[in-house]
Homo-oligomer: A and B are copies of this chain.
Amino acid sequence: MNSVLNLPGMTVKSTELLNIKDYLGEKRKLVDELLSRYIPSASEEPRTLHAAMRYSVMAGGKRIRPILALATYEQFRPDSSETDSSIGYIMAGLEMIHTYSLIHDDLPCMDDDDLRRGQPTCHKKFGIATAVLAGDALHDIAFDLMARSGHTEIVRELAQAIGTMGMIGGQIADVEAEGREVSKAEIIKIHSCKTGSLIRCSVRVGAILAGAERSTFESLSQYGEKIGLAFQIIDDILDVEGSQELLGKKVGADNIKGKATYPGVVGLEQAKKDADLLIDEAIELLDDYDDNMLKHIALFIGQRES
């Protein structure tokens, strides 16, 4: 892509890729490189804290949020408006925010999870105090990186997407809904906030950096909203009938915890239909544009098995 990032994934153009899985695999490597670059080494003080941050961030994952930001940026950027290092900052920042949210969600006072991606959760490995602070510190680096993009608008997008009207609002609603009946409207709200808003934000910040026009921006935003909700519905579906091996975690955990889930509210078959519909609608929103990676990513989310 350019000499500033100078990383393996950036040399392959989206259109040259044979299929979406190759594309995602390629970009995941890029995200890993960026994350490793922007989190201080575990040999730097405070060492335990940096080790805990790296442990959680480098544990793998789909890296779907930064990849969405990149795919949006690559699709819509005008040729000369931005230095490409900015998209790298944003990509790393988005994934750090996602990881911070997972570390805090896993805490004993929240979901009390012992395993994440087949490994002990951050607090199981490093203790609760370190896990709280590792989440807090990732939160800070992420905002520093967003600001390095040079756009206060991008900082604000993130802050609002993950605040009380977004991700944190969804998380507390999720905790408060445990063990009680919820309506379809409620579960859509919870999922849209808890998972959807950061996914939507990833698309939006990519679009802002690319300087996308207002009407394009609105379509992209709706696209992000739809795939974000679909992503969490499918997460719930996989928790019912997914493969423990592919997921790296126990299936059926939501049920045991009395979590409010989408299939729990509308039934498994309807949940699948609704997720498919959301993916179709998301793709339709991009109909004005040629074949592009965002459509393929939406399809991939609709078909994912882990």
Task: Flag A206-231 by CB within 8 Å of B: 1 or 0 each.
Answer: 00000000000000000000000000
Q: What's the minimum C-beta distance from A213 to chain B, rounded to whole angstroms?
A: 23
The CA of A245 and the CA of B257, in the complex, are separated in Å by 45
Residues of B close to A164: CB separation below 8 A:
40, 46, 49-50, 53, 137, 140
Q: What's the minimum C-beta distance from A35 to chain B, rounded to whole angstroms?
A: 15
Contact B132–A172 (Cβ < 8 Å): no
Residues of B close to A171: CB separation below 8 A:
133
In chain A between 88 and 129, which residues have their CB closer than 8 angstroms to a CB of chain B?
104, 107, 109-110, 127-129
Task: Flag A154-191 by CB within 8 Å of B: 1 or 0 each.
Answer: 01101110111100110111011000000000000000
Point out which of A150, A155, A160 has the most chain B C-beta atoms below 10 A from its C-beta.
Answer: A155
Task: Flag A67-96 by CB within 8 Å of B: 1 or 0 each.
Answer: 000000000000000000000000000000
User: Which of the four size classes fits the interface of chain A?
Assistant: 35 or more
Q: What's the minimum C-beta distance from A151 to chain B, rounded to whole angstroms?
A: 7
The CA of A132 and the CA of B110, in the complex, are separated in Å by 9
Q: Does A255 contact B (CB under 8 A)?
A: no
Given A140-B159, A144-B163, A176-B48, verify A132-B107 contact (CB < 8 Å). Answer: yes
List residues of A whose CB falls within 8 A of some B CB. Answer: 40, 45-46, 48-50, 53, 104, 107, 109-110, 127-130, 132-133, 135-137, 139-141, 143-144, 146-153, 155-156, 158-160, 162-165, 168-169, 171-173, 175-176
8 interchain residue pairs of minimum CB distance = A144-B159, A109-B128, A147-B155, A140-B163, A147-B152, A109-B129, A147-B156, A143-B159
